[in-house]
């Protein structure tokens, strides 16, 4: 009996050992395939090929003004500014009134207009279109001064003004401190550019390339008020001529 128990016990030990051994063989770790990682590539810094991408540009709305809408002092300046190509400006209610002129033209058929205004990083960029007559156009034989007046706000007074051909406008200013005003009697026209006026006991000769326009409506013997400027060559440049009642 004891012998059977011994044999049975031995058999059980062998069976458990076989099971444990079999379980251990199932837990053998198999080497996993090695996955090679991509080598780390150091990225080059990104260079902005268009450095102007960060610039802020704002379109500015503007209003075209009529000459009669200006105050008298500004009208007087415009009368002088229009004789030469250029621009000038005046502050107005937090904005600006801007004059841009093409200067004296011997015939009609010329024009000027503002296409756009931009605020570009503190600079006021004004695009202008100037037109001129074609050689075959029929034009009036009269002196003209193409100019435009506009009003706007939301910019600085650092102006850059160019026309469609990239030609820039320079700023012109009127120095009224260099001008004199006298009263006299209109004697008459000497030539197309000159007139004679009696001021007290003195005869004075005044000149201007647009004399015909300045003396329109003035008759010989009329009392007049004359505003003039002494030029570097010693001539009296007529600026304004007004009849006195």
How is the chain split into domains, by residue range?
Answer: 57-163, 176-243
What is d(CA 204, CA 197) in angstroms, rounded to the nearest whole number? 5
| Per-residue pLDDT, 46 | 56
Token reading at 189: 């026209």
Range 199-211 average pLDDT: 89
CB atoms within 10 A of CB 44: 6
Does residue 223 register a pLDDT over 80?
yes
Q: Which residue has the higher pLDDT, 130 or 93?
A: 130
Does residue 25 register a pLDDT over 50?
no
pLDDT confidence of 93, banded at 50, 70, 90?
confident
Count how many Cα atoms sit within 13 Å of the Cα of residue 73 in the half-sphere of its side chain. 4
Does residue 227 register a pLDDT over 80?
yes
Residue 237 near residue 229, CB atoms below 8 Å: yes
What is d(CA 31, CA 50) in angstroms, rounded to the nearest whole number? 53
Please give the model's pTM, rounded to 2 decimal places: 0.62
CA distances in angstroms from 32 to 29, 35, 109, 227, listed in the order given: 9, 9, 90, 104
Topology annotation, domain 176-243: OB fold (Dihydrolipoamide Acetyltransferase, E2P) (2.40.50)
Count how many Cα atoms sit within 13 Å of the Cα of residue 106 in the half-sphere of its side chain. 0
| Per-residue pLDDT, 29 | 41
Q: What is the pLDDT of residues 26-56, one digit of tens each?
A: 443 444 555 556 666 666 655 555 555 567 8
């Amino acid at each position: 009996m004891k012998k059977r128990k011994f044999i049975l016990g031995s058999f059980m030990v062998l069976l458990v050992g076989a099971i444990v051994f079999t379980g251990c063989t199932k837990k053998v770790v198999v080497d996993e395939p090695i996955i090679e990682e991509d080598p780390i590539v150091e990225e080059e810094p990104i260079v902005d090929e268009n450095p102007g991408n960060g610039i802020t540009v704002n379109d500015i709305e503007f209003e075209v003004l009529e000459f009669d809408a200006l105050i008298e002092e500004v009208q007087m300046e415009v009368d002088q500014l229009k004789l030469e190509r250029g621009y000038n400006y005046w502050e107005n209610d937090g904005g600006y009134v801007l004059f841009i002129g093409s200067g004296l033209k011997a015939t009609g058929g010329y024009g000027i207009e503002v296409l756009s205004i931009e605020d570009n990083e503190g600079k006021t960029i004004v695009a202008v279109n100037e037109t001129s007559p074609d050689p075959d156009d029929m034009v009036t034989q009269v002196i003209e001064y193409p100019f435009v007046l506009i009003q706007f706000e939301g910019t600085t007074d650092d102006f850059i003004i160019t026309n469609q051909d990239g030609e820039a406008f320079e700023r012109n200013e009127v120095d009224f401190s260099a001008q004199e005003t006298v009263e006299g009697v209109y004697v008459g026209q000497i030539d197309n550019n000159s007139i004679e006026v009696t001021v007290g006991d003195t005869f004075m000769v005044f000149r201007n390339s647009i004399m015909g326009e300045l003396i329109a409506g003035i008759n010989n013997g009329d009392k007049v008020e004359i505003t003039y400027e002494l030029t570097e060559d010693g001539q009296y440049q007529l600026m304004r001529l007004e009849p006195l009642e």
